Amino acid sequence: MGESSPGRERSSARSRCSRTARPGGTVEAENYDDGGEGLGHHDATPANEGGYYRDAGVDVQPTTDTGGGYDVGWTKAGEWLAYTVNVTTADRYTLAVRVASNGAGGTFHVESEGIDKTGPVIIPNTGGWQTWRTVTVPVTLAAGPQLLRLAFDAAGSSGFCGNVNWLKLAPIT
């Protein structure tokens, strides 16, 4: 969540959106797939509540997390973001997700090709909408191109699920 301010910056999603992510790299939450409502994302409201980065309904704002950039906020149960990934090796991975919540957070799960790979993941109370913590969960992924979906399941005490800055996949060694 964040404050709105004049001079919001927006750009074409196509000019900044990374189309394919690979394990070991960082997937910025705001770089969900193009395609619009129902393909690259589902958002409960038509407007970008944060007003930054993309003109779609997904709520994007600047982040104060290390590295700067943007995060996705104002997330509600039932919303989701899709990411195309190319998994080079079928394996078990650690999925790390950078989250923030001002109060008890909600839950999310991550799907691959429509199959829940994580079960519910709790977004902890981090002490603020821009106070960040990394949560991790093991996932098993097949090799090859696939669609990962970050799905928000339940709202926390604030009425929102939580903010998300990035996702990372790393092989479990």
- pTM summary value: 0.87
Is residue 13 very low, low, confident or very high in pLDDT (cuts 50, 70, 90)? very low
In the 3-class helix/strand/coil scheme, how is 37-91 assigned residue by residue?
A: ECCCEECCCCCCCCCCECCCCCCEEECCCCCCCEEECCCCCCCEEEEEEEECCCE
Q: How confident is the model at residue 25 (pLDDT cuts 50, 70, 90)?
A: confident
Nearest CA to 28 out of 167, 134, 169 is that of 167
CB atoms within 10 A of CB 137: 16
3-class DSSP state of 15: helix
Measured over the CA atoms of residue 81, residue 137, residue 68 and residue 106, the dihedral's sign is: positive
Residue 161 has pLDDT above 50, yes or no: yes
Whether the CB-CB separation of 85 and 142 falls below 8 Å is answered with no
Closest CA relative to residue 145, chosen from 27, 21, 37, 33: 21
Dihedral sign computed on CA atoms, order 153, 63, 131, 165:
positive
**Which residues, listed in sequence order, are joined to residue 136 by a DSSP beta bridge?**
96
| pLDDT tens figures, 27-40 | 999 999 999 999 99
Digit-coded pLDDT (tens) for 33-71? 999 999 999 999 999 999 999 989 999 999 999 999 999
Phi-psi region of 144 (alpha: psi -120 to 50; beta: other; left: phi over 0): left
Q: Decide: helix, strand or coil at residue 29.
A: helix
Domains of the chain: 13-171 (2.60.120.260)
98 in Cβ contact with 27 (< 8 Å): no
What is the chain's alpha carbon radius of gyration, rounded to the nearest angstrom?
15
